[in-house]
Structure 1
Protein backbone atom coordinates (compact mmCIF):
# COMPACT_ATOMS: atom_id res chain seq x y z
CA UNK A 1 0.00 0.00 0.00
CA UNK A 2 1.31 3.42 -0.94
CA UNK A 3 2.38 5.57 1.94
CA UNK A 4 0.09 8.53 2.57
CA UNK A 5 1.75 11.77 1.54
CA UNK A 6 2.17 14.42 4.19
CA UNK A 7 1.04 18.00 3.56
CA UNK A 8 4.61 18.95 2.70
CA UNK A 9 5.39 16.10 0.33
CA UNK A 10 2.07 16.23 -1.54
CA UNK A 11 2.38 19.96 -2.08
CA UNK A 12 6.01 19.70 -3.10
CA UNK A 13 5.22 16.91 -5.56
CA UNK A 14 2.68 19.04 -7.37
CA UNK A 15 4.81 22.16 -7.18
CA UNK A 16 8.06 20.79 -8.55
CA UNK A 17 7.86 17.05 -9.24
CA UNK A 18 9.50 16.02 -12.50
CA UNK A 19 7.34 13.00 -13.35
CA UNK A 20 5.27 13.51 -16.49
CA UNK A 21 1.97 13.09 -14.64
CA UNK A 22 3.00 15.87 -12.21
CA UNK A 23 3.97 18.16 -15.07
CA UNK A 24 0.54 17.53 -16.55
CA UNK A 25 -1.08 18.17 -13.18
CA UNK A 26 0.57 21.61 -13.08
CA UNK A 27 -0.79 22.32 -16.56
CA UNK A 28 -4.25 21.03 -15.64
CA UNK A 29 -4.82 22.90 -12.38
CA UNK A 30 -5.01 26.44 -13.88
CA UNK A 31 -7.42 25.08 -16.50
CA UNK A 32 -9.62 23.60 -13.81
CA UNK A 33 -9.57 26.94 -11.97
CA UNK A 34 -10.72 28.56 -15.22
CA UNK A 35 -13.59 26.07 -15.40
CA UNK A 36 -14.50 26.68 -11.75
CA UNK A 37 -14.67 30.43 -12.32
CA UNK A 38 -16.83 29.85 -15.41
CA UNK A 39 -19.10 27.44 -13.49
CA UNK A 40 -18.64 24.77 -16.16
CA UNK A 41 -17.34 21.19 -15.95
CA UNK A 42 -15.07 19.83 -18.66
CA UNK A 43 -14.99 16.46 -20.41
CA UNK A 44 -11.97 14.20 -19.99
CA UNK A 45 -11.43 14.29 -23.76
CA UNK A 46 -11.48 18.10 -23.90
CA UNK A 47 -9.01 18.52 -21.05
CA UNK A 48 -6.75 15.87 -22.58
CA UNK A 49 -6.80 17.78 -25.88
CA UNK A 50 -5.78 20.99 -24.13
CA UNK A 51 -2.91 19.20 -22.43
CA UNK A 52 -1.77 17.52 -25.65
CA UNK A 53 -2.58 14.04 -24.34
CA UNK A 54 -3.70 11.36 -26.79
CA UNK A 55 -5.32 9.12 -24.16
CA UNK A 56 -7.81 10.80 -21.80
CA UNK A 57 -7.72 7.77 -19.48
CA UNK A 58 -4.23 8.67 -18.34
CA UNK A 59 -5.65 11.87 -16.83
CA UNK A 60 -6.42 9.82 -13.72
CA UNK A 61 -2.80 10.18 -12.58
CA UNK A 62 -2.50 14.00 -12.83
CA UNK A 63 -6.02 14.46 -11.44
CA UNK A 64 -5.20 12.19 -8.54
CA UNK A 65 -2.08 14.25 -7.84
CA UNK A 66 -4.18 17.42 -7.81
CA UNK A 67 -6.67 15.87 -5.40
CA UNK A 68 -3.94 14.74 -2.99
CA UNK A 69 -2.18 18.10 -3.13
CA UNK A 70 -5.38 20.06 -2.44
CA UNK A 71 -6.29 17.80 0.47
CA UNK A 72 -2.78 18.27 1.86
CA UNK A 73 -3.00 22.02 1.40
CA UNK A 74 -6.24 22.01 3.37
CA UNK A 75 -4.68 20.02 6.21
CA UNK A 76 -1.69 22.36 6.30
CA UNK A 77 -3.90 25.44 6.69
CA UNK A 78 -6.65 23.78 8.75
CA UNK A 79 -9.25 24.44 6.06
CA UNK A 80 -11.19 22.57 3.40
CA UNK A 81 -10.15 23.00 -0.22
CA UNK A 82 -12.67 21.36 -2.58
CA UNK A 83 -11.41 18.64 -4.89
CA UNK A 84 -11.48 20.66 -8.09
CA UNK A 85 -10.71 17.52 -10.11
CA UNK A 86 -14.44 16.70 -9.80
CA UNK A 87 -14.97 19.17 -12.66
CA UNK A 88 -13.56 16.61 -15.10
CA UNK A 89 -16.45 14.43 -16.22
CA UNK A 90 -17.17 11.50 -18.48
CA UNK A 91 -18.98 12.47 -21.68
CA UNK A 92 -21.29 9.46 -21.50
CA UNK A 93 -22.29 9.57 -17.82
CA UNK A 94 -21.77 13.24 -17.04
CA UNK A 95 -19.94 12.17 -13.85
CA UNK A 96 -16.35 12.34 -12.64
CA UNK A 97 -14.38 9.17 -11.93
CA UNK A 98 -15.26 6.95 -8.98
CA UNK A 99 -12.20 8.21 -7.09
CA UNK A 100 -14.02 11.47 -6.32
CA UNK A 101 -16.38 9.54 -4.04
CA UNK A 102 -14.27 9.97 -0.91
CA UNK A 103 -14.53 13.74 -1.31
CA UNK A 104 -18.34 13.83 -1.49
CA UNK A 105 -19.61 11.11 0.86
CA UNK A 106 -18.28 8.95 3.70
CA UNK A 107 -20.12 5.94 2.23
CA UNK A 108 -18.87 3.85 -0.73
CA UNK A 109 -19.62 5.91 -3.81
CA UNK A 110 -20.02 2.82 -6.00
CA UNK A 111 -23.06 1.73 -4.00
CA UNK A 112 -25.13 4.76 -4.95
CA UNK A 113 -27.58 4.68 -7.85
CA UNK A 114 -26.71 6.87 -10.83
CA UNK A 115 -29.26 9.57 -9.97
CA UNK A 116 -28.04 9.70 -6.37
CA UNK A 117 -24.51 10.13 -7.67
CA UNK A 118 -25.66 13.00 -9.87
CA UNK A 119 -27.27 14.80 -6.93
CA UNK A 120 -24.17 14.34 -4.78
CA UNK A 121 -21.88 15.57 -7.55
CA UNK A 122 -24.10 18.55 -8.37
CA UNK A 123 -23.98 19.63 -4.73
CA UNK A 124 -20.22 19.19 -4.64
CA UNK A 125 -19.70 21.13 -7.88
CA UNK A 126 -21.58 24.04 -6.31
CA UNK A 127 -18.92 24.11 -3.58
CA UNK A 128 -16.21 24.22 -6.23
CA UNK A 129 -17.91 27.03 -8.17
CA UNK A 130 -18.43 29.17 -5.06
CA UNK A 131 -15.03 28.58 -3.45
CA UNK A 132 -13.49 32.07 -3.26
CA UNK A 133 -9.78 31.27 -3.01
CA UNK A 134 -8.80 29.49 -6.20
CA UNK A 135 -6.26 32.13 -7.15
CA UNK A 136 -4.70 31.75 -3.70
CA UNK A 137 -4.55 27.99 -4.29
CA UNK A 138 -2.65 28.56 -7.54
CA UNK A 139 -0.22 30.83 -5.72
CA UNK A 140 0.56 28.08 -3.20
CA UNK A 141 1.86 25.94 -6.05
CA UNK A 142 3.58 28.85 -7.82
CA UNK A 143 1.08 28.65 -10.67
CA UNK A 144 -0.75 31.46 -12.44
CA UNK A 145 -4.28 31.92 -13.80
CA UNK A 146 -4.59 31.39 -17.53
CA UNK A 147 -4.58 34.58 -19.59
CA UNK A 148 -7.90 35.60 -21.15
CA UNK A 149 -8.55 35.47 -24.87
CA UNK A 150 -6.33 38.20 -26.37
CA UNK A 151 -8.16 41.51 -26.67
CA UNK A 152 -7.11 41.78 -30.32
CA UNK A 153 -9.05 38.60 -31.17
CA UNK A 154 -12.13 39.84 -29.33
CA UNK A 155 -11.93 43.24 -31.01
CA UNK A 156 -11.58 41.62 -34.43
CA UNK A 157 -14.75 39.60 -33.81
CA UNK A 158 -16.64 42.83 -33.12
CA UNK A 159 -15.64 44.32 -36.47
CA UNK A 160 -18.22 42.29 -38.35
CA UNK A 161 -19.81 43.56 -41.51
CA UNK A 162 -22.57 41.27 -42.70
CA UNK A 163 -22.66 39.94 -46.21
CA UNK A 164 -24.51 37.40 -48.27
CA UNK A 165 -24.28 33.69 -47.69
CA UNK A 166 -21.39 32.03 -49.50
CA UNK A 167 -21.97 28.92 -51.58
CA UNK A 168 -19.60 26.93 -49.33
CA UNK A 169 -21.63 27.90 -46.27
CA UNK A 170 -24.87 26.97 -48.01
CA UNK A 171 -23.53 23.55 -49.03
CA UNK A 172 -22.26 22.81 -45.52
CA UNK A 173 -25.57 23.85 -44.00
CA UNK A 174 -27.58 21.64 -46.33
CA UNK A 175 -25.22 18.72 -45.75
CA UNK A 176 -25.43 18.96 -41.95
CA UNK A 177 -29.23 19.13 -42.17
CA UNK A 178 -29.21 15.66 -43.74
CA UNK A 179 -26.85 14.19 -41.14
CA UNK A 180 -28.44 14.09 -37.66
CA UNK A 181 -26.00 11.28 -36.86
CA UNK A 182 -23.18 13.83 -36.76
CA UNK A 183 -24.77 15.16 -33.57
CA UNK A 184 -25.29 11.73 -32.07
CA UNK A 185 -28.93 11.60 -33.15
CA UNK A 186 -30.69 8.68 -34.77
CA UNK A 187 -31.14 8.93 -38.54
CA UNK A 188 -34.83 8.42 -37.75
CA UNK A 189 -34.89 12.01 -36.50
CA UNK A 190 -34.95 12.96 -40.16
CA UNK A 191 -33.50 16.02 -41.85
CA UNK A 192 -33.18 19.24 -39.91
CA UNK A 193 -34.88 22.47 -40.85
CA UNK A 194 -32.64 25.12 -42.35
CA UNK A 195 -32.92 28.87 -41.80
CA UNK A 196 -35.30 28.27 -38.89
CA UNK A 197 -36.78 31.57 -37.68
CA UNK A 198 -36.71 32.13 -33.91
CA UNK A 199 -39.12 34.41 -32.09
CA UNK A 200 -36.23 36.88 -31.68
CA UNK A 201 -36.06 37.06 -35.52
CA UNK A 202 -32.67 35.32 -35.44
CA UNK A 203 -32.28 32.49 -37.93
CA UNK A 204 -30.67 29.16 -37.14
CA UNK A 205 -28.59 27.51 -39.82
CA UNK A 206 -30.15 24.16 -38.87
CA UNK A 207 -32.67 23.01 -36.26
CA UNK A 208 -33.18 19.40 -35.26
CA UNK A 209 -36.02 18.23 -33.02
CA UNK A 210 -35.51 14.99 -31.10
CA UNK A 211 -38.50 14.31 -28.91
CA UNK A 212 -38.63 17.12 -26.35
CA UNK A 213 -35.11 18.25 -27.19
CA UNK A 214 -34.27 20.95 -29.73
CA UNK A 215 -30.80 21.24 -31.22
CA UNK A 216 -29.54 24.41 -32.87
CA UNK A 217 -26.62 24.10 -35.27
CA UNK A 218 -24.42 26.98 -36.34
CA UNK A 219 -22.13 26.11 -39.26
CA UNK A 220 -18.91 27.77 -40.35
CA UNK A 221 -17.33 26.84 -43.66
CA UNK A 222 -13.59 26.70 -44.25
CA UNK A 223 -13.85 30.30 -45.46
CA UNK A 224 -14.45 31.48 -41.88
CA UNK A 225 -11.50 33.11 -40.16
CA UNK A 226 -10.72 32.97 -36.43
CA UNK A 227 -12.91 35.98 -35.65
CA UNK A 228 -15.89 34.40 -37.40
CA UNK A 229 -15.41 31.13 -35.52
CA UNK A 230 -15.29 33.12 -32.27
CA UNK A 231 -18.60 34.71 -33.21
CA UNK A 232 -19.93 31.20 -33.80
CA UNK A 233 -19.11 30.21 -30.21
CA UNK A 234 -21.09 33.15 -28.87
CA UNK A 235 -23.90 32.53 -31.33
CA UNK A 236 -24.27 29.04 -29.86
CA UNK A 237 -24.73 30.52 -26.39
CA UNK A 238 -27.37 32.89 -27.72
CA UNK A 239 -29.25 30.25 -29.70
CA UNK A 240 -29.36 27.79 -26.81
CA UNK A 241 -30.77 30.49 -24.53
CA UNK A 242 -33.32 31.55 -27.14
CA UNK A 243 -34.49 27.99 -27.79
CA UNK A 244 -34.99 27.40 -24.08
CA UNK A 245 -36.84 30.71 -23.72
CA UNK A 246 -39.19 29.62 -26.52
CA UNK A 247 -39.76 26.28 -24.79
CA UNK A 248 -40.71 28.09 -21.59
CA UNK A 249 -43.07 30.37 -23.53
CA UNK A 250 -44.70 27.28 -25.04
CA UNK A 251 -45.18 25.66 -21.66
CA UNK A 252 -42.42 23.07 -22.11
CA UNK A 253 -39.48 22.15 -19.92
CA UNK A 254 -36.31 23.81 -21.30
CA UNK A 255 -34.27 21.15 -23.10
CA UNK A 256 -31.93 22.28 -25.82
CA UNK A 257 -28.42 22.08 -27.22
CA UNK A 258 -26.43 24.29 -29.53
CA UNK A 259 -23.57 22.92 -31.61
CA UNK A 260 -20.95 24.70 -33.69
CA UNK A 261 -20.04 22.69 -36.79
CA UNK A 262 -16.78 23.62 -38.50
CA UNK A 263 -15.62 22.54 -41.92
CA UNK A 264 -12.11 23.31 -40.72
CA UNK A 265 -10.50 23.05 -37.29
CA UNK A 266 -11.07 25.11 -34.17
CA UNK A 267 -8.24 27.68 -33.86
CA UNK A 268 -5.89 26.77 -31.02
CA UNK A 269 -6.37 30.20 -29.43
CA UNK A 270 -10.08 29.46 -28.96
CA UNK A 271 -9.79 25.97 -27.43
CA UNK A 272 -9.72 27.18 -23.84
CA UNK A 273 -12.65 29.54 -24.40
CA UNK A 274 -14.69 26.75 -26.00
CA UNK A 275 -14.13 24.60 -22.92
CA UNK A 276 -14.81 27.44 -20.47
CA UNK A 277 -18.10 28.20 -22.21
CA UNK A 278 -19.03 24.52 -22.50
CA UNK A 279 -19.76 24.74 -26.23
CA UNK A 280 -20.05 21.59 -28.34
CA UNK A 281 -17.87 21.85 -31.44
CA UNK A 282 -17.61 19.40 -34.33
CA UNK A 283 -14.55 19.83 -36.52
CA UNK A 284 -13.58 18.69 -39.98
CA UNK A 285 -17.13 18.21 -41.29
CA UNK A 286 -16.83 18.20 -45.07
CA UNK A 287 -19.85 17.83 -47.39
CA UNK A 288 -17.80 15.94 -49.98
CA UNK A 289 -16.01 13.59 -47.56
Structure 2
Protein backbone atom coordinates (compact mmCIF):
# COMPACT_ATOMS: atom_id res chain seq x y z
CA UNK A 1 0.00 0.00 0.00
CA UNK A 2 1.35 3.44 -0.93
CA UNK A 3 2.34 5.84 1.81
CA UNK A 4 -0.22 8.54 2.62
CA UNK A 5 1.69 11.73 1.82
CA UNK A 6 -1.12 13.82 3.30
CA UNK A 7 0.52 12.96 6.64
CA UNK A 8 3.29 15.38 5.69
CA UNK A 9 2.40 19.06 5.62
CA UNK A 10 5.26 19.77 3.19
CA UNK A 11 3.63 17.51 0.57
CA UNK A 12 0.15 19.01 0.45
CA UNK A 13 0.26 21.50 -2.44
CA UNK A 14 -0.94 20.17 -5.83
CA UNK A 15 2.53 20.24 -7.42
CA UNK A 16 4.21 18.66 -4.39
CA UNK A 17 1.60 15.91 -4.29
CA UNK A 18 2.51 15.17 -7.88
CA UNK A 19 6.29 14.95 -7.45
CA UNK A 20 6.78 13.65 -3.88
CA UNK A 21 5.82 9.99 -4.52
CA UNK A 22 8.58 9.67 -7.12
CA UNK A 23 11.39 11.21 -5.06
CA UNK A 24 11.99 8.42 -2.50
CA UNK A 25 12.72 5.83 -5.19
CA UNK A 26 15.28 8.08 -6.86
CA UNK A 27 16.95 8.86 -3.53
CA UNK A 28 17.01 5.22 -2.45
CA UNK A 29 18.67 4.26 -5.73
CA UNK A 30 21.33 6.91 -5.10
CA UNK A 31 21.74 5.90 -1.46
CA UNK A 32 22.39 2.28 -2.42
CA UNK A 33 24.91 3.46 -5.00
CA UNK A 34 26.66 5.64 -2.41
CA UNK A 35 26.15 8.85 -4.35
CA UNK A 36 24.61 12.22 -3.51
CA UNK A 37 22.33 14.04 -5.95
CA UNK A 38 21.98 17.78 -6.51
CA UNK A 39 18.62 19.54 -6.56
CA UNK A 40 19.12 20.23 -10.27
CA UNK A 41 19.91 16.57 -10.98
CA UNK A 42 16.82 15.52 -9.06
CA UNK A 43 14.66 17.91 -11.09
CA UNK A 44 16.15 16.64 -14.35
CA UNK A 45 15.65 13.01 -13.36
CA UNK A 46 12.02 13.57 -12.38
CA UNK A 47 11.47 15.09 -15.80
CA UNK A 48 13.41 12.46 -17.76
CA UNK A 49 11.97 9.42 -15.95
CA UNK A 50 8.42 10.51 -15.20
CA UNK A 51 7.73 13.46 -17.48
CA UNK A 52 7.40 15.90 -14.58
CA UNK A 53 8.26 19.44 -15.62
CA UNK A 54 11.60 20.65 -14.28
CA UNK A 55 11.14 23.85 -12.29
CA UNK A 56 13.58 26.68 -12.98
CA UNK A 57 13.82 27.52 -9.27
CA UNK A 58 15.50 24.46 -7.80
CA UNK A 59 14.78 25.69 -4.26
CA UNK A 60 11.19 24.59 -4.90
CA UNK A 61 12.37 20.99 -4.55
CA UNK A 62 13.44 21.55 -0.94
CA UNK A 63 9.99 21.05 0.65
CA UNK A 64 9.17 17.82 -1.27
CA UNK A 65 12.58 16.41 -0.31
CA UNK A 66 11.90 17.49 3.26
CA UNK A 67 8.58 15.62 3.17
CA UNK A 68 10.48 12.46 2.24
CA UNK A 69 12.81 13.08 5.16
CA UNK A 70 9.91 13.41 7.60
CA UNK A 71 8.34 10.22 6.21
CA UNK A 72 11.57 8.34 6.91
CA UNK A 73 11.66 9.86 10.40
CA UNK A 74 8.10 8.65 11.00
CA UNK A 75 9.07 5.14 9.90
CA UNK A 76 12.05 5.22 12.25
CA UNK A 77 9.74 6.07 15.13
CA UNK A 78 7.17 3.44 14.15
CA UNK A 79 9.79 0.71 13.79
CA UNK A 80 11.86 1.78 16.79
CA UNK A 81 14.84 1.78 14.44
CA UNK A 82 17.57 4.30 13.66
CA UNK A 83 16.92 4.95 9.96
CA UNK A 84 19.32 7.56 8.53
CA UNK A 85 17.90 10.85 7.15
CA UNK A 86 17.58 10.07 3.44
CA UNK A 87 16.85 13.69 2.52
CA UNK A 88 20.43 14.73 3.34
CA UNK A 89 21.86 13.20 0.17
CA UNK A 90 20.12 15.92 -1.87
CA UNK A 91 22.72 18.68 -2.00
CA UNK A 92 23.41 22.09 -3.44
CA UNK A 93 25.80 21.79 -6.36
CA UNK A 94 27.78 24.83 -5.18
CA UNK A 95 28.54 23.50 -1.68
CA UNK A 96 28.05 19.75 -1.82
CA UNK A 97 25.80 20.11 1.25
CA UNK A 98 22.01 20.08 1.64
CA UNK A 99 20.20 23.35 2.24
CA UNK A 100 19.91 24.43 5.87
CA UNK A 101 16.21 23.59 5.82
CA UNK A 102 17.20 19.92 5.78
CA UNK A 103 18.69 20.19 9.28
CA UNK A 104 15.31 20.33 11.00
CA UNK A 105 14.36 17.01 9.43
CA UNK A 106 17.65 15.35 10.39
CA UNK A 107 17.67 16.26 14.09
CA UNK A 108 15.93 13.00 15.03
CA UNK A 109 18.93 10.98 13.87
CA UNK A 110 21.55 12.44 16.22
CA UNK A 111 21.94 11.34 19.82
CA UNK A 112 22.24 14.96 20.93
CA UNK A 113 19.20 15.98 18.89
CA UNK A 114 21.45 17.93 16.54
CA UNK A 115 22.43 20.36 19.29
CA UNK A 116 25.99 20.59 17.98
CA UNK A 117 25.10 21.17 14.33
CA UNK A 118 25.46 24.93 14.60
CA UNK A 119 29.06 24.45 15.74
CA UNK A 120 30.13 21.86 13.20
CA UNK A 121 27.37 21.42 10.63
CA UNK A 122 29.55 19.85 7.94
CA UNK A 123 30.78 17.09 10.25
CA UNK A 124 27.25 16.22 11.33
CA UNK A 125 25.97 16.19 7.76
CA UNK A 126 28.87 14.10 6.44
CA UNK A 127 28.45 11.53 9.22
CA UNK A 128 24.72 11.26 8.54
CA UNK A 129 25.21 10.98 4.77
CA UNK A 130 27.69 8.16 5.32
CA UNK A 131 25.09 6.43 7.49
CA UNK A 132 22.61 6.76 4.60
CA UNK A 133 25.10 4.99 2.33
CA UNK A 134 25.91 2.35 4.95
CA UNK A 135 22.21 1.49 5.32
CA UNK A 136 22.59 -0.34 2.02
CA UNK A 137 19.99 -2.95 1.09
CA UNK A 138 17.90 -2.05 4.15
CA UNK A 139 16.52 0.77 2.02
CA UNK A 140 14.50 -1.82 0.11
CA UNK A 141 12.37 -2.31 3.23
CA UNK A 142 11.83 1.45 3.44
CA UNK A 143 10.80 1.54 -0.23
CA UNK A 144 8.29 -1.24 0.43
CA UNK A 145 6.87 0.62 3.44
CA UNK A 146 6.47 3.80 1.38
CA UNK A 147 5.03 1.90 -1.57
CA UNK A 148 7.56 3.35 -3.99
CA UNK A 149 9.40 1.78 -6.90
CA UNK A 150 13.18 2.11 -6.96
CA UNK A 151 14.54 2.61 -10.49
CA UNK A 152 16.90 -0.11 -11.66
CA UNK A 153 18.24 1.61 -14.76
CA UNK A 154 20.72 4.51 -14.65
CA UNK A 155 19.24 7.96 -14.83
CA UNK A 156 18.93 9.23 -18.42
CA UNK A 157 22.17 10.99 -19.26
CA UNK A 158 23.85 9.75 -16.08
CA UNK A 159 27.62 9.48 -16.42
CA UNK A 160 29.39 7.38 -13.82
CA UNK A 161 32.78 8.50 -15.11
CA UNK A 162 35.71 6.41 -16.19
CA UNK A 163 36.64 3.22 -14.36
CA UNK A 164 39.54 3.81 -11.96
CA UNK A 165 41.60 0.59 -11.64
CA UNK A 166 42.18 -0.66 -8.11
CA UNK A 167 45.70 -0.15 -6.75
CA UNK A 168 48.05 -3.11 -6.66
CA UNK A 169 48.37 -4.47 -3.13
CA UNK A 170 51.70 -3.92 -1.41
CA UNK A 171 53.97 -6.95 -1.86
CA UNK A 172 55.53 -6.86 1.58
CA UNK A 173 56.08 -4.68 4.63
CA UNK A 174 58.84 -2.13 4.24
CA UNK A 175 60.65 -0.45 7.12
CA UNK A 176 59.47 3.10 7.81
CA UNK A 177 61.66 5.61 5.97
CA UNK A 178 63.16 8.72 7.54
CA UNK A 179 60.99 10.86 5.25
CA UNK A 180 57.83 9.11 6.43
CA UNK A 181 58.77 9.54 10.09
CA UNK A 182 59.56 13.21 9.54
CA UNK A 183 56.26 13.81 7.72
CA UNK A 184 54.30 12.18 10.56
CA UNK A 185 56.04 14.41 13.08
CA UNK A 186 55.36 17.49 10.97
CA UNK A 187 51.65 16.69 10.64
CA UNK A 188 51.30 16.03 14.38
CA UNK A 189 52.92 19.37 15.24
CA UNK A 190 50.86 21.44 12.80
CA UNK A 191 47.22 21.19 13.90
CA UNK A 192 46.49 24.51 12.20
CA UNK A 193 46.76 22.72 8.85
CA UNK A 194 43.70 20.68 9.83
CA UNK A 195 41.55 23.45 11.31
CA UNK A 196 38.75 22.68 8.85
CA UNK A 197 38.17 19.46 10.78
CA UNK A 198 38.23 20.93 14.28
CA UNK A 199 40.18 23.12 16.71
CA UNK A 200 42.99 20.79 17.70
CA UNK A 201 46.17 21.01 19.71
CA UNK A 202 49.21 18.93 18.73
CA UNK A 203 48.34 15.42 17.61
CA UNK A 204 49.66 12.01 18.56
CA UNK A 205 51.33 9.36 16.45
CA UNK A 206 50.59 5.62 16.06
CA UNK A 207 47.17 5.87 17.69
CA UNK A 208 45.44 2.49 17.91
CA UNK A 209 41.87 1.94 16.69
CA UNK A 210 39.40 -0.70 17.84
CA UNK A 211 39.88 -2.42 14.47
CA UNK A 212 43.54 -3.07 15.31
CA UNK A 213 44.74 -0.44 12.84
CA UNK A 214 47.24 2.21 13.87
CA UNK A 215 46.95 5.79 12.63
CA UNK A 216 49.99 7.71 11.44
CA UNK A 217 48.66 10.83 13.19
CA UNK A 218 45.57 11.33 15.34
CA UNK A 219 43.85 14.51 16.52
CA UNK A 220 41.03 14.81 19.03
CA UNK A 221 39.52 17.70 20.96
CA UNK A 222 37.07 15.58 22.89
CA UNK A 223 34.42 16.05 20.22
CA UNK A 224 35.86 16.03 16.71
CA UNK A 225 38.38 13.33 15.81
CA UNK A 226 40.69 13.17 12.81
CA UNK A 227 42.88 10.44 11.34
CA UNK A 228 45.80 11.51 9.15
CA UNK A 229 47.41 9.06 6.74
CA UNK A 230 50.76 10.30 5.45
CA UNK A 231 52.63 9.28 2.32
CA UNK A 232 56.17 10.52 1.74
CA UNK A 233 57.48 11.82 -1.57
CA UNK A 234 58.82 8.40 -2.53
CA UNK A 235 55.33 6.87 -2.46
CA UNK A 236 54.18 5.32 -5.74
CA UNK A 237 50.87 6.18 -7.39
CA UNK A 238 49.49 2.85 -6.18
CA UNK A 239 50.57 3.65 -2.64
CA UNK A 240 48.86 7.03 -2.76
CA UNK A 241 45.66 5.35 -3.94
CA UNK A 242 45.97 2.79 -1.15
CA UNK A 243 46.18 5.77 1.19
CA UNK A 244 42.81 6.98 -0.07
CA UNK A 245 41.25 3.61 0.72
CA UNK A 246 42.94 3.61 4.12
CA UNK A 247 41.31 6.97 4.87
CA UNK A 248 37.90 5.52 4.09
CA UNK A 249 38.51 2.69 6.54
CA UNK A 250 39.83 4.95 9.29
CA UNK A 251 36.96 7.40 8.86
CA UNK A 252 34.43 4.59 9.15
CA UNK A 253 36.07 3.13 12.27
CA UNK A 254 36.33 6.51 14.01
CA UNK A 255 32.65 7.14 13.39
CA UNK A 256 31.73 3.61 14.47
CA UNK A 257 33.66 4.03 17.72
CA UNK A 258 31.80 7.26 18.45
CA UNK A 259 28.45 5.64 17.73
CA UNK A 260 29.33 2.72 20.03
CA UNK A 261 30.04 5.24 22.80
CA UNK A 262 26.76 7.08 22.11
CA UNK A 263 28.58 10.19 20.94
CA UNK A 264 28.09 12.25 17.75
CA UNK A 265 29.92 10.51 14.91
CA UNK A 266 32.28 13.41 14.25
CA UNK A 267 35.22 11.52 12.81
CA UNK A 268 37.06 12.10 9.56
CA UNK A 269 40.27 11.13 7.79
CA UNK A 270 42.59 12.98 5.43
CA UNK A 271 45.52 11.97 3.24
CA UNK A 272 48.71 14.05 3.44
CA UNK A 273 51.72 13.87 1.14
CA UNK A 274 54.54 16.07 -0.04
CA UNK A 275 53.94 14.95 -3.61
CA UNK A 276 50.90 15.84 -5.68
CA UNK A 277 48.18 13.33 -6.42
CA UNK A 278 48.27 11.99 -9.96
CA UNK A 279 45.25 12.40 -12.24
CA UNK A 280 43.57 9.10 -11.35
CA UNK A 281 44.33 9.67 -7.67
CA UNK A 282 42.56 13.04 -7.78
CA UNK A 283 39.57 11.48 -9.50
CA UNK A 284 39.45 8.65 -6.96
CA UNK A 285 39.69 10.99 -3.96
CA UNK A 286 36.89 13.16 -5.36
CA UNK A 287 34.66 10.19 -6.10
CA UNK A 288 35.16 8.71 -2.62
CA UNK A 289 34.98 12.04 -0.75
CA UNK A 290 38.48 11.78 0.68
CA UNK A 291 40.34 15.06 1.28
CA UNK A 292 43.97 15.46 0.28
CA UNK A 293 46.42 17.97 1.71
CA UNK A 294 49.79 18.59 0.10
CA UNK A 295 52.51 19.27 2.67
CA UNK A 296 55.58 21.40 1.93
CA UNK A 297 58.68 19.48 0.87
CA UNK A 298 60.56 20.62 3.99
CA UNK A 299 58.09 18.60 6.10
CA UNK A 300 60.18 15.52 5.33
CA UNK A 301 63.38 16.98 6.77
TM range (shorter): 0.5 to 0.7
Relative distance call for 1:40 and 1:67 in structure 2 (3 A) is closer
Structure 2 equivalent of residue 146 of structure 1: 161
Match for 1:94 among 84, 92, 97?
97
Relative distance call for 1:165 and 1:67 in structure 2 (3 A) is same
Per the TM alignment, residue 176 of structure 1 is displaced from its structure 2 partner at its CA by: 0.8
Check whether the contact 2:232–2:274 (CA below 8 A) recurs between aligned residues: yes
What secondary structure is seen at the aligned counterpart in 1 of 2:207?
strand
Match for 1:223 among 228, 234, 238?
234
TM-score, with normalisation over the residues of structure 1?
A: 0.56
Check whether the contact 2:247–2:290 (CA below 8 A) recurs between aligned residues: yes
What secondary structure is seen at the aligned counterpart in 2 of 1:164?
coil
Per the TM alignment, residue 184 of structure 1 is displaced from its structure 2 partner at its CA by: 1.7
Residues 1-289 of structure 1: matches in 2 within 5 Å? 38-41=33-36, 64=40, 66=41, 69-76=44-51, 86-88=90-92, 91=95, 94-96=97-99, 115-116=103-104, 132-133=150-151, 135-138=153-156, 141=157, 144-150=159-165, 153-154=166-167, 156=168, 158-184=169-195, 189-250=200-261, 252-282=263-293, 284-286=294-296, 288=298
Moved more, 197-206 or 129-138: 129-138
Per the TM alignment, residue 90 of structure 1 is displaced from its structure 2 partner at its CA by: 5.4
Q: CA RMSD in A?
A: 4.4
Q: Measure the CA separation in 2 of the matches of 1:240 and 1:190.
A: 20
Q: Measure the CA separation in 2 of the matches of 1:274 and 1:225.
A: 16
Structure 1 residue ranges without an equivalent (≥5): 1-33, 45-62, 97-111
Check whether the contact 2:199–2:221 (CA below 8 A) recurs between aligned residues: no
Structure 2 residue ranges without an equivalent (≥5): 1-28, 54-63, 66-86, 108-124, 140-148
